Amino acid sequence: MLLASHFRTLFPLSSGLIATLLIVTAVLPSPADAAIIDFTRHLSHHETSNGKSVTDDASFFGVAGSARLLVTATNSNVNATVQLNGTEVVEPEHFGNAGQFEVPVTLVAGNTISVTVSGPTNSVVSIRVKQTADVELHLESRLHFNTNVSNFEAARQFFGKLGFGTFTGFPDTNTQEMAQAMGIKTPTAYDGAQGEHAGGYLLHGELLSLSLMRWGGDALKGGLIDLIEFKIPRREESPYSGLNHLGIARAAMYTTDLNADYNYMRSVGVEFISAPATRSDGTVFAIFKDLDGTHFELIEKPGKEVETEDTHIFSLAQVNINVSDFERSRAWYQMLGYNVSTKLAATDSLAVANAMGFDSTFEINGAVLTRQEDGSMLELVQWMTPFNPEPPYAIPANHLGIARIAFGTSNMEADVAALKSQGVEFLSDITPCCQGPDSSGSIVAFYDPDGAIIELAEQDFWSTLSMMVNWIWDRIFN
């Protein structure tokens, strides 16, 4: 599942040489990306009830040093008192006629906050604590997004009809440490009968990509699809039914001819929410489902015209992540190198809402974020209406649907230390991957602010180069 294995493909030799050059370039040491991030350390909303005062207590992570506490009130007659680490930092006198104000505060590593609000019924006071930090990471590119399926062979045929081919396979079993890295409790029921590593997971999967021969470098933009059927342990819950569910709700693909693809895909049994629709910004799109109900989006984009017997899909595009607070998540993903490139319209027509599976119009706060280093994109969306507060699937990361997004790094230990210094929660320690205890690569997974799972993967240069040389040798002489 690492970048090194991504390019041990089943494509013709000429494509393999291109892929080899790309991967060798990708794993060369790269400078760290340093950025000043304005983190939201704490966010809470407090509502008055029947004219009585209400007190809420909480704790949160911080870095020792200065920060700002932002207060927003929906009613000019509401009052609040805020104690931070035992010191009163906001008094009712702060409010006056101001519906929003900011006070300087000082944080420690572990902070406590107590908020008491009073005033007219159903008045809301929101508290946001913000703190800037200089974060340096060594991320190289988005490697893949994982899609878990209930039947690998059927799913592989499904994506094959869309123009995706096998990039490489990977071991069906692995160490218990690798299982733990995916949030799986060990030992599992796997007895080792179908391979080594009893007590770990049993799965079957492949990395899929579009054809390099047909689409050139566009085929690798945005990484690959990590298609997996988990057999032990197994989960049967359906993927998210709505596009507004918190977490990774869908992934997009670019096509040069959406109408042709819509008609072809329907002819081979693909289910769409509706016929193609046009957003207010002119984007033509259509949402379809895989065999398990995971959502994907086709977006029409100009590109080279080619003759094809299947689709005109030429590249993966943005992966959608629904969040509970856009401001907090925008800053968090900026830490990974993503910056806002396109702000999304706050609402759209009923036809667009229907094409996304909703009976009425919606209201959102969102944007497409682009990573300059590799051009990969994420779409962060806070759904105001309709809002679904149900959290992302809990671990283990074997539920049907898009379970995680993986990024390559050139310095795993430094990146993990940097992320931990900002309070990021990890599923496990750094784990050797993906050929057992002697693996030269490593992976680690962690949570975004809402609980979506992000993965880092590192492969050393010489192991990657050796794999590439062996792959080419096999294609020439075997």
Q: Is the Cα dihedral 158, 159, 162, 163 positive or negative?
A: negative
With cut-offs at 50, 70 and 90, classify the pLDDT of residue 462: very low
DSSP letter for each residue of 266-278: HHTT-EESSS-EE
Residues 6+ apart with CB under 8 A from 223: 6, 141, 142, 143, 144, 145, 316, 376, 406
Residue 150 lies in a domain: yes
- pLDDT score of 100: 86
Distances (CA, A) of 66 to 130, 318, 327: 9, 35, 20
Residue 222: predicted pLDDT: 83
Rounded to whole angstroms, the Cα distance separating 265 from 255 reads 12
Same domain, 59 and 170: no
DSSP labels, 124-161: EEEEEEEEEEEEEE-EEEEEEEEEE-S-HHHHHHHHHH
DSSP state, residue 290: -
CB 112 within 8 A of CB 127: no
Burial class (CB in 10 A: 0-12, 13-18, 19+), 38: middle
As a whole number of Å, the end-to-end CA separation of the chain is 25
Domain ends where: 108, 132, 156? 132
Task: Return the H-helix or E-strand segment holding 473.
Answer: helix 461-477
- The answer to whether residues 123 and 174 belong to one domain is no
The tokens of 233 are what?
């342990």
Together in a domain, 160 and 237: yes
Residue with tokens 């990039």: 167
In a domain, 92, yes or no: yes
294 in a structural domain = yes
In 3D space, the residue among 429, 446, 451, 397 whose CA is nearest the CA of residue 183 turns out to be: 397
Of 78, 111, 132, the position where a domain reaches its end is: 132
What's the average model confidence in pLDDT over 43-61?
91
CB atoms within 10 A of CB 317: 21
Neighbours of 60 (CB within 10 A): 16
Instruction: Decide if 265 is inside a domain.
Output: yes
Residue 17 has a pLDDT of 44
My answer on whether 222 and 362 are in the same domain is: yes
Question: Among 290, 441, 281, which Cα is nearest to 366's?
Answer: 281
Closest CA to 148 of 382, 396, 397: 397
For residue 473, pLDDT over 70 is answered with no
| % of the chain residues with pLDDT over 70 | 87
Least confident of 79-93, 140-154, 210-224: 210-224
Burial class, 328, CB count within 10 angstroms (exposed 0-12 / middle 13-18 / buried 19+):
buried
In-domain check, residue 42: no
110 and 186 belong to one structural domain: no
Same domain, 128 and 199: no
Q: Tell whether 64 and 115 lie within a shared domain.
A: yes
Give the pLDDT confidence score for residue 209 in this predicted structure.
94
CATH assignment at residue 102:
2.60.120.260
Max mean pLDDT range (74-88, 223-237, 429-443)? 223-237
- We report the CATH number of the domain holding residue 363 as 3.10.180.10
Question: Which of 102, 132, 162 lies at the terminal end of a domain, its last residue?
Answer: 132
Question: Are 168 and 104 in a shared domain?
Answer: no
Is 105 in the same domain as 179? no
pLDDT above 60 (res 153): yes
pTM, two decimal places: 0.90
The two counts, helices (H) then strands (E), for the chain are 10, 25
Domain that holds residue 416: 3-32+139-464
Same domain, 84 and 188: no
Residue 471 in any domain: the answer is no
Look at 134-138, 213-217, 393-397, 459-463 and tell me which has the smallest mean pLDDT.
459-463
Pure H helices in 162-257: 176-181, 212-215
Any domain includes 40: no
Say yes or no: 121 and 236 in one domain.
no
| More confident site: 32 or 308 | 308
Residue 200 has pLDDT above 90, yes or no: yes
Computed over every residue of the chain, the mean pLDDT equals 89
Q: What is the pLDDT of residues 240-263, one digit of tens each?
A: 999 999 999 999 999 999 999 999
The mean pLDDT of 264-293, rounded to a whole number, is 98
Does residue 304 form part of some domain? yes
Q: Which range among 280-284, 291-295, 329-333, 435-439 shows the weakest confidence by mean pLDDT?
A: 435-439
Same domain, 279 and 416: yes
3-state SS class at 438: helix
For 111-126, what is the mean pLDDT? 92
Write the single-letter amino acid at 443. Answer: I
What's the pLDDT at 30?
53
Cα 301 to Cα 255: distance, rounded to the nearest angstrom: 6
Q: pLDDT for 223-237, tens place per residue?
A: 899 999 999 999 999
pLDDT band at 440 (very low <50, low <70, confident <90, very high): confident
When divided into structural domains, the chain yields a total of 2
Q: What is the pLDDT of residues 327-357, one digit of tens each?
A: 999 999 999 999 999 999 999 999 999 999 9
